[in-house]
Chains A and B, each alone.
Chain A
């Protein structure tokens, strides 16, 4: 089900109930259909009409199962909610909207948590890399970055490596 009242892209008269998605040149485009248009018409035809109006004769339709209008977490939070309010709706949102979380973490330099682990997490045997393991991992990343001539990234890893080496003493 969807969260906002959107009209059918085909008949433009009834509220849409199904949304079909397609990535075009990396851009996600949606077509929304009402119940009648979805059931009684040839979906591909509607899809073709809709998409071709946007991109002339460029596209190859692939169909998804009817999905939600917008990705929604079980708490009811949507990506728009998070972007508009700057607040997540529940702990599950961090998994549901991992794309946003990753973008945020990368913006902060890709650094991860380094504080104390709660005992209930440790008891679940979550593997926490040791300082030596983190150092080895960074050394490997530096080699790979240099190999691919991404010197800016290599420098960033080098700074992180220096900090860890200093921490180890």
Chain B
């Protein structure tokens, strides 16, 4: 496995779009005809590009919506939006959020490092939406968005990275500060304000009015390549410096995952991060993608969603360990 395969988890591109003549979501007060215009236009566009499931935030149960958040298919912001809705593609690689901060948030998430592919997915939906709805645009300002910081292409490219080396060597904070000044944000996996659980970080461009779509893609690509190379150096350094002690820590975590009887989501993320590092360093032979899937599938709402059971915290902790152990057994 090369360094990119053990470091880059997924790639996400999102576009923010609004419709001319309609109040932005922050000023919508339940006007039925506005929603019907919006939903009809978006539905027509989505149906042409991908087979989809439709979710209305007014009718969705909290468990399903939380599971969508944990799978990064909708945002916490949309979950709270009374008039929000989402069209999600069947393979769950494209989703269109309606009435989030903007009328439309079109996003594509792909496993691995595939900025161009994710961009092509959203560009197709965007083009189809423009055929059905009058998208707000100004030649000097770009796409008009609720928050002016998103003016320009309205595009955010983010890449989820697993960075145990840079975290353990305490270099991540300096890196976050350095890139912040260069127009790049690095933060925890569940978006703004979230903690970097399991050494997972989102690297994304900050909004910039004058950057074109291709410039954003190139910028994020270069930054990710640079961070991945720094992570490679950091992993080699800690493996050399801590040697057997590091391997011992990794194997203890592996043992805990294999034999524990119950485990919280946070404990799992910590142990899983070490086991994934063990895979990256060649100490353990398990499919990295399966381990990445576990980080999402063992989140509280996802546990209940997959098992179709409404479980207490303790029941989830027990079921979580079982799910992990089933995966590890199949891999061994």
A residues with a Cβ closer than 8 A to B are 75-77, 85-92, 94, 101, 104-105, 108, 111-121, 126, 128
* Contact status of A117 and B27, CB under 8 A, knowing A90-B22, A112-B209, A112-B210: no
Nearest Cβ on chain A to B181's Cβ, whole angstroms = 15
- CB nearest neighbor in A for B140: A112
Whether A91 lies near B152 (C-beta < 8 A) is no
B139 at the interface (CB under 8 A from A): yes
B20, B144, B208, B211 — most chain A CB neighbours (10 Å): B144
Known: A108-B208, A112-B141, A121-B139. 19 other contacts (CB 8 A): A89-B27, A90-B23, A90-B24, A104-B148, A105-B141, A105-B209, A111-B210, A112-B140, A112-B209, A113-B139, A113-B140, A113-B142, A113-B151, A113-B209, A115-B152, A115-B211, A115-B212, A116-B213, A119-B127
Contact of A128 among B22, B139, B148, B209 (CB under 8 A): B139
| A residues less than 8 Å from B208 (CB atoms) | 108
- Is A89 in contact with B26, judged by CB distance below 8 angstroms? yes
| Closest A residue by C-beta to B101 | A87
Q: In whole angstroms, what is the CA distance A162 to B148 when docked?
A: 27
Q: Which of B43-51, B130-138, B250-258 contacts A (4 or more CB under 8 A)?
A: B130-138
Closest to B152 in A: A113
What CA separation (Å) do A113 and B21 show in the bound complex?
22
CB pair B24 A88 closer than 8 Å: yes
Residue of A at shortest CB range from B141? A113
Q: Which residues of A contact B152 (CB under 8 A)?
A: 113, 115
Contacts of B7 in A (CB 8 A): none
Nearest chain B CB to A125's CB is how many angstroms away? 11
Nearest-neighbour CB distance to chain B for A112, whole angstroms, equals 4
Once bound together, how far apart are the Cα atoms of A164 and B135, in whole Å?
29
Choose among B134, B144, B145, B210 the residue that contacts A114 (Cβ–Cβ < 8 A).
B210
How far in angstroms is the closest Cβ of chain B from A117?
7
Residue of A88, A89, A126 ringed by the most chain B CB atoms within 10 A:
A88
Interface flag for B146 (CB, 8 Å): yes
Q: Is the CB of A88 within 8 A of B144?
A: yes
- CB nearest to B127 among chain A residues: A119
**Chain B positions near chain A (C-beta within 8 angstroms):** 18-24, 26-27, 101, 127, 130, 134-142, 144-148, 151-153, 155, 208-213, 215
Complex contact A117–B139 (CB within 8 A): yes
Shortest Cβ distance from B323 into chain A, in angstroms?
41
Residues from chain B with Cβ under 8 Å of A111 in the complex: 209-210
Q: Given A115-B152, A118-B137 in contact, is the A108-B27 Cβ separation under 8 Å? A: no
B24 touching A87, Cβ below 8 Å: yes
- The CA of A33 and the CA of B208, in the complex, are separated in Å by 44
Set of chain B residues within 8 Å of A105, measured between Cβ atoms = 140-141, 209
Nearest opposing residue in chain B for A82, CB measure: B148
Q: How far is the CA of A91 from the CA of B212 in the complex (A)?
A: 21
Q: Which residue of B lies closest to A89 (CB)?
A: B27
Residue of A with least CB distance to B151: A113
- Residue of A whose beta carbon sits closest to that of B19: A91
Report the Cα distance A114→B208, complex, angstroms: 10
> Contacts A86-B147, A89-B26, A91-B18 known; A116 to B212 CB distance under 8 Å?
yes
Shortest distance in angstroms between A161's beta carbon and chain B's nearest beta carbon? Answer: 14
Q: A115 CA to B212 CA in the complex, in Å?
A: 4
With a CB–CB cut-off of 8 A, which chain A residues contact B145? 88
